[in-house]
Amino acid sequence: MWMCVCASASNTVRRSFLEYEGGDAKLLISCSGLSNEGMVTTVGLNVECSDLPFSMDSVRIVVCDTVYSSLEPFVLVGMEKDVVHKRVLWSVDVEFPQLFAFSENDMICAYTSEGVFKIPLTNEGRLQSESELLAENFASEIERYEHSIAVLRLWCVLAFVALIGCVVCFWLIIRKKSECRRALQEEVCAHELRIENLYHNGFGAFNDLCNVYFDKYDSERTRATIVGDVEDIIMSYRSQKMISELTEAVNANMGGILNRICKELPELSDNDVLLMTYLYAGFSAKAVCLMMDLKLKNFYNRRTRLKDKILASDAQNKEWFASKM
């Protein structure tokens, strides 16, 4: 549906249908001619529309910054049912007061619901407009190209950073595995060395007793001194050197239990810690009594009180400490 509102027949509109191409909705307005016959200036316009309802409220001419309205009011309306899925061409002739000279800056202004369309009146103006449009399009293409290049550079940088990150992560993983493997090997070697030392040292006291007996068993006079020598061997376990070795061995084979006891139970006395050292080292009750100069009954009472004291404390590992006594 189209509508042309005129006070007379001076403004004319002809409608035709072109081959529908689909695509985006569009409204195009161009100048089809200019004449000065009959004491008026007649401007010809081609209005092409596809899938875009619109209205044209007026058409004016701008000549040397002076605005001229059409001799008769002009309104053109393209209704939705007449333009949707169609390609319609309106050929419009609009009459203005007679004008004789036009420059490249003079133009026709068509005021529509889609905005103001400015169409140059002269070939020079059209060329200038087309040149400006081409320049704008070229600048837009350059800007889009530069944007694409910038995005491509950014993706390249991100890809390079990601690649470097992957390489670094892979290197860190390999290094971490190597360090873990080396630490595990060192721990295994240290554990094997501790076992070997325990194996050799486990017969140390027996070797000492055998040496004493071997040196003195064939003489009645020297055999009487064996008891004293045995006492010396037993008492050697009271020495600070032996206590330090026992403490180190216990910590190495029991997860640093004595160090944790000293940290979590600072209120324990040195004798309490020493008793626990002998117990954790695996000495029997009688052996502990000999080394700490205790009666057997007192030993059991002292061990029970010490265990109860530990369990009644706020130590984090108190049950572990007590279970190993």
Domain ranges (residues) in the chain: 12-121, 123-184, 198-323
Give burial (CB, 10 Å; 0-12/13-18/19+) of 96. buried
0.85 exceeded by pTM: no
| Number of other CB atoms surrounding residue 107 within 10 Å | 21
User: Tokens 């800007």 correspond to what residue?
Assistant: 143
pLDDT (tens digit, 9 = 90+) per residue, 222-234? 656 666 777 777 7
- Interstrand relation of 40-50 and 87-97 (parallel, antiparallel or unpaired): antiparallel
Rounded mean pLDDT, 97-103? 82
Inform me whether the pLDDT recorded for 15 exceeds 70: yes
Inform me whether the pLDDT recorded for 245 exceeds 50: yes
pLDDT value of residue 122: 79
Inform me whether the pLDDT recorded for 214 exceeds 90: no
Calculate the alpha carbon distances from 110 to 45, 54, 117 in Å: 10, 12, 5
Rounded Cα distance between 309 and 325, Å, is 13
| Number of other CB atoms surrounding residue 261 within 10 Å | 22
pLDDT > 90 fraction of the chain, expressed in percent and rounded:
33
Looking at 1.10.3470, 2.60.40, 3.30.110, 3.60.21, the CATH number of the domain 12-121 comes to 2.60.40
Rounded mean pLDDT, 86-92? 93
Looking at the chain, which runs of residues are DSSP E strands? 12-18, 26-35, 40-50, 54-63, 66-69, 76-78, 87-97, 107-112, 115-120
pLDDT > 70 fraction of the chain, expressed in percent and rounded:
86
Residue 44: beta bridge partners? 33, 93
pLDDT (tens digit, 9 = 90+) per residue, 159-194? 999 999 999 999 999 999 888 888 888 877 776 666
Sign of CA dihedral 18, 19, 24, 30: negative
pLDDT value of residue 221: 64
